[in-house]
Structure 1
Amino acid sequence: MSDPKPEFFEAGRTYTDGNGFRAPELTAFFHAEHITRHPERGHLRAIGWARSGATGATWHGNFLDEGDFAGWTELEEPLLGAAPAVVRPRRTDEERRHWLLSVIRSERGQWTVGRVKRLYGRYCEGHVLRSTIRRELAALCAAGELEMHHESDRRYYTLAAGGGR
């Protein structure tokens, strides 16, 4: 007995509207990330990523509703990672400053706004403005945790004496 044909998109799966005989640029792909119901109308909505089959085509956000499912075929292997993305909650400003100080204590060295920005980018802090990072470093300096150093074209911070606790 074969599995029944699904009646709608399923999260974590990639679909195509092509049948293999169309030009790649006319073929569309849709990767479903999330399935939900419209809050007012109650119909199913698949939210995900779409792109054409053209060489160099990029993914863009898209959604398809229940009436759009006809004509789409599931691919054997998803084109995007099947595992759902892990979204970590952003730290509050205070939590982020505390975490930054712990990293500075463990790694030591000279800390510029650029170095902190790269650190935040690596550890899923999202986009943090350089002005915010400057304020955070200045706050840690005012609290006596860091020492500010000025050179002619460069400002950086180091752990203050006794700040390594």
Structure 2
Amino acid sequence: MELRSNQTMTALYCRLSQEDELAGKSNSIHNQKQILKEYVEWNGFQNLRSFVDDGYSGVTFDRSAYLEMMAEVEAGRVSTIIVKDHSRLGRNRLVVGILLEETFAQYHVRYIAVNDGVDTINGIDDSIAVRDSFNEWHARDTSKKVKTVIMAAGRAHRDLRLLRLQEG
């Protein structure tokens, strides 16, 4: 959909990390898009544009679609950002806090996290900071678990090679 120069858009943002993909279908890009589609239809949002980062951790904000969306925000072309759940925006509590409390406010951007009941039109609830802390902790915990599995697989592969060398 092409926006006229005087229109602002509703940005639909989806993100899926490799770790989220391992957790199952509930966070899939398709699932996120479907939830957002139903939400915007039910609530009458218009001038929609999707931004999708597939395979990006929420810990980093160097994500192509996120950066493109934020350029649109800074250009004054975004009125609302909608995500499936708050963790899709990011898993760094400091950056997310600045986005919600400063950046989005500065550019008059409404932020909605559908499944978490977050809508900045109602203000920013103190529980969001707790969610942000949990989201950051979850990313660190998942990262440690993934590294442990990779290291264990590497050790098993090494041990198998050594066993074959000893046998042969």
Taking structure 2 as the reference length, what is the TM-score of the superposition? 0.23
Higher share of residues assigned strand: 1
Taking structure 1 as the reference length, what is the TM-score of the superposition? 0.23
Structure number with greater CO (CA < 8 Å, separation at least 6) is 2
Indicate the structure (1 or 2) with the bigger Cα radius of gyration.
1
Higher share of residues assigned helix: 2
